[in-house]
Amino acid sequence: MPDMSTVDPITLDIIENALKNARFEMDGVVVRISLSPVIREQHDEFPMICNHRGQMIVGQFGSYIPAIVEQFDGDLNEGDIFVWNDPYACKGSISHNNDWCVMMPIFHEGVLVGFSSIFGHMVDVGGKVPGSMPFDARTIWEEGLRVPPVRIYDKGVLNEGVLAIMLNNSRTPDMNRADLMALIAGCKTAAKRVGELCDRFGRETYMAATDMLLDRTRDAMKVLISKYISEEPVSFTDYVDDDGVGNGPFKMTLSIYMKDGKAVFDWTGTDDQAEGPINFHIHEGLCKLFFGVYMIMAFDPDILFNEGFYDLFEIILPEGSLLNPKFPAALSNRLNTHTRFFDCQAGALGQRAPHLSMAAGYGTSPHFIFTGHDSEGKYFQLMELLFGGVPGRPRGDGLDGHAWWPLFSATPIEYIENYYPVQVDSYRPVKDSGGPGLHRGGAGIEKVYRVLESGKISIHDDREVVPPWGINGGLFGGTSAKWIVRQTTGEKERIPSKIDNLEVEAGDVIIFRTAGSGGWGDPYERPAEEVARDVRYDLVSPEKALEGYGVVLGDDLSLDVAATEKLRAERRAERGEPEPFNFGFTPQSA
């Protein structure tokens, strides 16, 4: 065990920040090398740097390295790089086949000092539909090639056979190859930076510092647990609309309490695994990370989140449930469940600290996929992740049309129109989709695509039935919706939130609206001037200003202060104390 007494505070801070910078450098390398819009433009890749035991020191997703190392019984060599994408073969370290994960052991002068790893979403990994995420899959066999953990590089030598098999099973082999090599380059970048830290400070000092960073996070988490988690359980339930094959809504129930000094996160009461592909096969360690990250970001964002607090958490994931499905359950559209996981965290933790929690967001990862052949007969496959409303929160309004993941960004319209036969007619927030509150919920977005070639589209979305709830008196937000306007008839037809291979002709228009998010706090406390401003910005309609906020506007949208104060006073007296949660939904109404 490295001697932690030899690391002074300044050295510790330098190493911490150097690792943070290395983690962001990994991002930079990946997006410069990759080809797919999903990674290059939208940054759907997640790097991390771990210590020699495989514990994440910096990054976004941790927990999975020890399970992979265990399969190779310590047979790790300099120059080895491992790859996999099978969720079941890696205990849920990645959660659907599209995510290719790369791991590299890091050596310094022949001694193992850590690991670097990145996983990223590949545009296509085979299966029965383009994009490899069939909305109606009933088993994982339908969702594309599954690769168990294998060496893609063996002591520095590329395994051409493994690479050929992986690329041969994709509709987009060129993109996949570039993206895979980008992930590998990112891991090599981290290895180089860790080696430089070992050279600069000494290997023992570096390894001691990584342990100290884990311990520091653990000590901080103990304080958060004692302050915000009680022995008396608090429970919260939210719902996923459907599984794509006619079943739903699906209940997700979370109970949180303290037991023997540990925070227990118990998913007992969550519905059984779905027939369709919304199951989320989550690794227990990853589940701990999600809870820890949320608690840190909500309650003390100055803490470095890493795996140091894992022994302070206990996770209960009932076998055969939506969050712990049995093989070979389909998993490709698990993000509808994954992001609802976050909403349940907010709802449960918010009961003990409502002033620090937030409302519910758009609660999924909307996908738009357009495939076909262009005028020259060349195959194309556009895949874009869309965003929605990030919820109202203690510090202010939610974000309009933003991703859950902080580093994700929208695909530039110029990129889409330059590389694909698509014209984007408009891209704007959805009026009234942000739930009213002292802090308004973020709005969903409406993106209007005009396809310029015939082909097929696929759409995967959720929160069309179950609205995002509001908190602390805030009201629920708007739901999602999709339409197609046929060029030949001009008729506007509603599209389900989950559909594959819908045939389109050149000139057809797809209208894609994502869900908004819930409001935070009493909407009658929101400054009337801010509501009037939102009306001028076309985020809120005059009707919603009156109905949701009690704000009276004139025909010229000028604020009537006296009428507003009178109306709000009447409504407060009639309503009484606002409810802690506002759902706008009961399961029986679905």
Model confidence over 185-235: pLDDT tens digits? 999 999 999 999 999 999 999 999 999 999 999 999 999 999 999 999 999
Of 216, 249, 268, which marks where a domain is finished? 216
- 342 is a domain residue: no
For residue 54, give the DSSP letter. S
Mean pLDDT, the chain, rounded, equals 94
> Can you tell me the mean pLDDT for 248-274?
96
Model confidence over 414-423: pLDDT tens digits? 999 999 999 9
Cα-flanking dihedrals φ and ψ of residue 278, to 5°? -95, 5
Of 160, 182, 216, which marks where a domain is finished? 216
Query: Computed over its alpha carbons, how large is the radius of gyration of the chain?
Result: 24
Q: Give CA–CA dist 580/352, Å, rounded.
A: 11
Which of 483, 337, 290, 463 has the alpha carbon at shortest distance from 391?
463
- Is 70 exceeded by the pLDDT of residue 281? yes
Task: Quote the tokens at residue 437.
Answer: 């509150």
pLDDT value, residue 357: 87
Task: Quote the tokens at residue 311.
Answer: 């022994």
Provide the 3-class DSSP secondary structure of residue 253.
strand
pLDDT value, residue 363: 87
How many residues appear in the chain? 590
> Can you tell me the mean pLDDT for 250-276?
96
- 78 is a domain residue: yes
CB distance 8 to 46 below 8 Å: no
- Is 60 exceeded by the pLDDT of residue 239? yes
CB distance 4 to 212 below 8 Å: yes
Model confidence over 471-506: pLDDT tens digits? 999 999 999 999 999 999 999 999 999 999 999 999
pLDDT value, residue 290: 86
Model confidence over 503-530: pLDDT tens digits? 999 999 999 999 999 999 999 999 999 9
- 568 is a domain residue: no
Binned at pLDDT 50, 70 and 90, residue 590 comes out as very low
Percent of the chain scoring above 70 in pLDDT: 98
Specify whether the backbone of 132 is left (phi greater than 0), alpha (psi in -120 to 50) or beta.
left
- Is 80 exceeded by the pLDDT of residue 588? no
Of 216, 241, 272, which marks where a domain is finished? 216
Question: Residue 107: which domain range?
Answer: 4-216
- 449 is a domain residue: yes
Tell me which amino acid residue 122 is.
M
- Is 80 exceeded by the pLDDT of residue 5? no
For residue 275, give the DSSP letter. S
Q: Give CA–CA dist 181/59, Å, rounded.
A: 20
Q: Dihedral sign for Cα 305, 308, 313, 318, please.
A: positive
For residue 59, what is the enclosing H or E element?
strand 56-59
Model confidence over 77-122: pLDDT tens digits? 999 999 999 999 887 778 899 999 999 999 999 999 999 999 999 9
Contacts of 576 (CB under 8 A, 6+ apart): none
Percent of the chain scoring above 90 in pLDDT: 86
- Is 80 exceeded by the pLDDT of residue 589? no
CB distance 201 to 11 below 8 Å: yes
Three-point CA angle 406, 410, 416, nearest 5°: 155
pLDDT value, residue 14: 97
- Is 60 exceeded by the pLDDT of residue 162? yes
Across-strand partners of 112? 107
pLDDT value, residue 3: 59
Q: Give CA–CA dist 455/465, Å, rounded.
A: 28
- 315 is a domain residue: no
- Residue 249: asked if its preceding bond is cis (omega within 30°), the reply is yes
Model confidence over 549-568: pLDDT tens digits? 999 999 999 999 999 999 99
- Is 50 exceeded by the pLDDT of residue 341? yes
Q: Dihedral sign for Cα 90, 93, 95, 96, please.
A: negative
- 531 is a domain residue: no
Domain count, the chain: 2
Provide the 3-class DSSP secondary structure of residue 524.
helix
Task: Quote the tokens at residue 37.
Answer: 């819009």
- Is 90 exceeded by the pLDDT of residue 1? no
pLDDT value, residue 4: 58
- 265 is a domain residue: no
What's the pTM?
0.93
Q: Give CA–CA dist 159/172, Å, rounded.
A: 20
- 304 is a domain residue: no
Model confidence over 374-414: pLDDT tens digits? 989 999 999 999 999 999 999 999 999 999 877 889 999 99
